[in-house]
């Protein structure tokens, strides 16, 4: 029996990461996405896994792999830094790694765990430093609808979330405004075999 390449790839990722199921409901477990990263005319696509670390409350793991299988990036991120597990040579630049850390700390909601957050109505703001802040807006079901990262009052990048009829994350569009970079994450709604 022949299996489609995408199915075999999904099984291999599930086994490699040790995942029993894919649930894109919230960023609480492992969330798998088809990822498209566009930077200044260059495009990288693959599969991205965002996994909140059960051992440490304010840490998550980002795994970015090509569709063919090789890992491009594997790192732990916190709201203030990152730990590299594996990064390809072309991506092993401090600026790129710090950018991914900020992007995915915002997207995964790590800034919301801050005790100094100011929440009113359907939004929360977190002061990250004298000049930087994160802002979250929630929909009627108390899910993140939009997240923003600001520096000196200027919008540097934001993430817009869309949900399907069952309430699961369908996609996240992360857009930078101070240079040309866009990350599109489309949820993979499947279950790994037991």
pLDDT at 193 over 60: no
Q: Does domain 5-187 have CATH number 2.50.20?
A: yes
**Is the Cβ–Cβ distance between 128 and 111 less than 8 Å?**
yes
Quick one: pLDDT band at residue 163, thresholds 50, 70, 90?
very high
Question: In sequence order, what are the residues at sequence separation of 6 or more whose Cβ sits closer than 8 angstroms to the Cβ of residue 150?
Answer: 132, 133, 134, 135, 156
Q: Worst-scoring range by mean pLDDT, 10-14, 22-26, 53-57?
A: 22-26
Question: In sequence order, what are the residues at sequence separation of 6 or more whose Cβ sits closer than 8 angstroms to the Cβ of residue 69?
Answer: 9, 12
Domain ranges of the chain: 5-187
pLDDT at 7 over 50: no
Distance CA 23, CA 50 (A): 11
**What is the model's pLDDT at position 24?**
30
Q: How many helices (H) and strands (E) does the chain have?
A: 2, 12
pLDDT at 1 over 80: no
Q: What is the pTM of this model?
A: 0.80
Distance CA 189, CA 67 (A): 16
Quick one: pLDDT band at residue 29, thresholds 50, 70, 90?
confident
pLDDT digits (tens, 9 = 90+) for 44-84: 999 999 998 766 778 999 999 998 878 999 999 998 899 99
pLDDT digits (tens, 9 = 90+) for 105-141: 999 989 988 777 899 999 999 999 999 999 999 999 9
Picking from 187, 193, 158, 192, the residue whose alpha carbon sits closest to that of residue 175 is 158
**Is the Cβ–Cβ distance between 146 and 137 less than 8 Å?**
yes
Q: Please give the structure tokens belonging to residue 104.
A: 């995915």
How much of the chain exceeds pLDDT 70, in percent? 81
> H or E element: which one contains 81?
none
Q: What is the rounded average pLDDT for all residues in the chain? A: 82
């Amino acid at each position: 029996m022949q299996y489609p390449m995408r199915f075999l790839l999904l099984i291999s990722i599930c086994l490699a990461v040790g995942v029993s199921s894919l649930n894109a409901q919230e960023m609480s477990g492992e969330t798998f996405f088809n990822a498209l990263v566009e930077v200044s005319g260059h495009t990288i696509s693959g599969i991205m896994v965002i996994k909140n670390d059960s051992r440490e409350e304010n840490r998550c793991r980002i795994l970015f792999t090509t569709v063919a299988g090789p890992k491009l990036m594997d790192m732990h991120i916190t709201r203030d830094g990152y730990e590299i597990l594996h990064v390809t040579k072309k991506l092993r630049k401090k600026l790129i790694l710090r950018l991914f850390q900020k992007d995915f700390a915002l997207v995964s909601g790590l800034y919301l765990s801050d005790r100094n957050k100011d929440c009113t109505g359907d939004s929360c703001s977190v002061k990250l430093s004298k000049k930087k802040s994160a802002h979250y807006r929630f929909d009627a079901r108390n899910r993140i609808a939009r997240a923003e990262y600001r520096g000196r009052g200027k919008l540097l990048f934001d993430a817009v979330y869309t949900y399907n009829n069952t309430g699961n994350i369908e996609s996240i569009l992360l857009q930078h405004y101070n240079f040309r970079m866009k990350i599109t994450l489309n949820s993979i709604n499947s279950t790994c075999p037991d």
